Amino acid sequence: MGKPTQKEKARYQLLRQKLLDTYKGYFDGPLSQLTATQVDHTLHRWETLYPALLKPTRHAVLLNTFHGAPYFQAQSSESTNPKLGGSLDENLRDVNLEDSGEVSPPEPLEDAGRWLPPSCPLKLYHLPQQETHSSKDYLLPPPSKNSHDLKNYYCLDFASVFPVLALDVHPGHTILDMTAAPGGKTLTLLNHLGNSLVPAAGINASSSSPPSTIQTKLHVNEIDFQRRKRLRVVLDEHVPANLLPSTSSPNSVIQITGKDATEASSFRPGAYDRILLDAPCSSERHVLHQLHKQESASNLHKDLLNWSPSSSEKIAKGLQLKMLTTAVRALKFGGTLVYSTCSLSPHENDNVIENVVNLIDKQNRRRIKEVSRRRDADPGSENDGEEDARQPRKPPQTAFPELWTLEIDHTSWSIGEPTKHGWMILPDQQDNAGWGPIYFCKLTKQRKKGSRS
Ligand SMILES: C[S@@+](CC[C@H](N)C(=O)[O-])C[C@H]1O[C@@H](n2cnc3c(N)ncnc32)[C@H](O)[C@@H]1O
């Protein structure tokens, strides 16, 4: 791209202002009705949120369960707890800090445990918030590897742990992570399941605990080839090889595919107990950071030139709604689905939930109407108990169809705040803690009363 002309620069500035006004507008509408407890409401919400969004994303360290002994001792009776013991300092003690130049040694980091539910097996530590994008006031030493070449930690946005917690995974579940790359949530899910992932066939005969007959299955999907490759690297670096697919173990606990999540035919209907749909979205915080980066280098941010105020609504009504509809279809009755984004836009969050619920209602009404129409046209197709042995039995075209409905869960979490249908974690909450944005909504698929069981 050559040097921008004055005209291009003027258009860019106009678009930039429009973009900021659009983001700000999300907090004049439905989102500003949030019942935030931690935010000073004498100010407009955007005034606290905007500076918090501009700061670098604040990371947390997820200690890798599979790095420590527990997983590899799973065959022995003592190792039932997948938690890694010890502090981060202890877990990082083998790292040679002498070689890391500018890197400061790890100070005791704040244990994130107080924000997690008591039964949560994850071990997380907060890294301090960096004030500016150029500051390197805190760097972790590189992860250490164990004898199986697995790394001891992974860095992620602390807020992104909460959609995974909301999924409420249990041993024996068949789980779909529909849009998985680069893999932070997949890894959180796997760490949450920990030792329960040990394949039943792999349990040592000398174990005092009986072999598990219910096998957890995780289907990890990502359409983009390069991102899927990156995801595989993340999994290879953190997860034991015997859980991952290979030519010698095609039926491994974890399956990786590259299906299109907008296509209903990509996943078997009613096949999954749990589905995580972490949808592609407008990622406004990322856009703001990119704008800052490009403009400090006197460049125009290319993506902005393709942006319009209706971009968010378009993604929401197209890609995101299609993916969520696919996810609902693939979910078992009684199963749980978590829809999440890192978007600030109500179009991509609560409105997608509202749209899918309406769509399902519409489909139900259409199916009932269709059955009634067929019954009226051919009343004899209903089985009245007197079958004519000479006539072939008619297919049950007019049987009442199986209808479903979605129930929205309204659980409260230790960080974040409720929205109309879901939950939102924003960086100005908890005294500007810096986590998020993450929106998530937990849905359960139920049979609609009166439908065929
Ligand atoms: C928000 S990211 C997922 C982040 C991931 N869950 C994590 O925690 O690391 C959304 C992902 O969806 C993928 N994606 C986009 N369109 C898709 C489609 N039609 N089918 C499947 N995946 C898709 C993108 O390539 C992207 O990697």
Q: Answer for the pair 160, 435: CB distance below 8 angstroms, yes or no.
A: no
Q: Which ligand 1 atom minimizes the distance to the CA of 224?
A: 25
The more confident residue out of 94 and 408 is 408
Q: Which ligand 1 atom minimizes the distance to the CA of 276?
A: 6
- Give the residue whose CA is nearest to atom 27 of ligand 1: 181
Single-letter code of the amino acid located at 410: H
Judged against a pLDDT cut of 90, whether residue 108 lies above it is answered with no
370 is in an annotated binding site: no
Ligand 1 geometric centre to CA of 186 (Å) = 12
Ligand 1 geometric centre to CA of 224 (Å) = 8
260 is in an annotated binding site: yes
Ligand 1 geometric centre to CA of 167 (Å) = 17
Determine, yes or no, domain membership for 107: no
Judged against a pLDDT cut of 80, whether residue 35 lies above it is answered with no
Q: What residues make up the domain containing 282?
A: 6-57+158-197+214-375+399-447
Token pair belonging to 383: 């089985």
Determine, yes or no, domain membership for 25: yes
Determine, yes or no, domain membership for 128: no
Determine, yes or no, domain membership for 117: no
Determine, yes or no, domain membership for 35: yes
Ligand 1 geometric centre to CA of 252 (Å) = 22
* Contact residues of ligand 1, CB 6 A cut-off: 160, 179-185, 221-224, 227, 260-262, 278, 280
The more confident residue out of 273 and 105 is 273
Q: Answer for the pair 48, 39: CB distance below 8 angstroms, yes or no.
A: yes
Per-residue b or e along 305-337, where b marks 16 or more CB atoms closer than 10 Å to that residue's CB? eebeeebbeebbbebbbbbbbbbbbbbbeebbb
Which of 185, 222, 238, 256 gets mutated to test ligand 1 (max ligand atoms within 8 A of its CB)?
A: 222
Which of 158, 162, 192, 224 gets mutated to test ligand 1 (max ligand atoms within 8 A of its CB)?
A: 224
pLDDT in tens, 117-172: 999 999 999 988 888 887 666 677 889 899 899 999 999 999 999 999 999 999 99
Q: Residues 9-16: contacts with CB within 8 Å, 24+ apart?
A: 9/300, 11/305, 12/300, 12/304, 12/305, 15/304, 15/305, 15/307, 16/291, 16/304
Q: State percent of the chain over pLDDT 70.
A: 78
Burial class (CB in 10 A: 0-12, 13-18, 19+), 380: exposed
- Active site (catalytic) residues: 342
What's the CA gap between 143 and 91, in Å, rounded?
10
- Give the residue whose CA is nearest to atom 25 of ligand 1: 224
- Residue 285's CATH number: 3.40.50.150
384 is in an annotated binding site: no
Residues 6+ apart with CB under 8 A from 445: 328, 331, 332, 333, 334, 335, 337, 404, 405, 406
DSSP-derived pairing of the beta strands 217-221 and 254-257: parallel
pLDDT in tens, 170-208: 999 999 999 999 999 999 999 999 988 876 544 443 444
The more confident residue out of 343 and 93 is 343
Give the residue-averaged pLDDT of 45-56. 93
Q: Which ligand 1 atom minimizes the distance to the CA of 258?
A: 21
DSSP H helical ranges for 67-160: 69-72, 88-91
- Give the residue whose CA is nearest to atom 6 of ligand 1: 180
What's the CA gap between 44 and 24, in Å, rounded?
10
pLDDT at 53: 97
- Main-chain phi, psi angles of 141, to 5 degrees: -65, 155
Domains of the chain: total: 1
pLDDT in tens, 349-369: 999 999 999 999 998 888 888
Determine, yes or no, domain membership for 416: yes
Judged against a pLDDT cut of 60, whether residue 92 lies above it is answered with no
Q: Which residues pair with 445 in a beta bridge?
A: 406
Q: Which residues pair with 338 in a beta bridge?
A: 276, 442
Ligand 1 geometric centre to CA of 179 (Å) = 4
Of the candidates 435, 416, 437, 343, the residue with the CA atom closest to the CA atom of residue 58: 435
Determine, yes or no, domain membership for 366: yes
Determine, yes or no, domain membership for 338: yes
Judged against a pLDDT cut of 90, whether residue 271 lies above it is answered with yes
Residues 6+ apart with CB under 8 A from 107: none
Give the residue-averaged pLDDT of 79-88. 40
Average pLDDT of every residue of the chain: 83
pLDDT at 202: 46
Q: Answer for the pair 124, 132: CB distance below 8 angstroms, yes or no.
A: no
- What's this model's pTM, rounded to 2 decimal places? 0.86
- Give the residue whose CA is nearest to atom 2 of ligand 1: 280
pLDDT at 203: 41
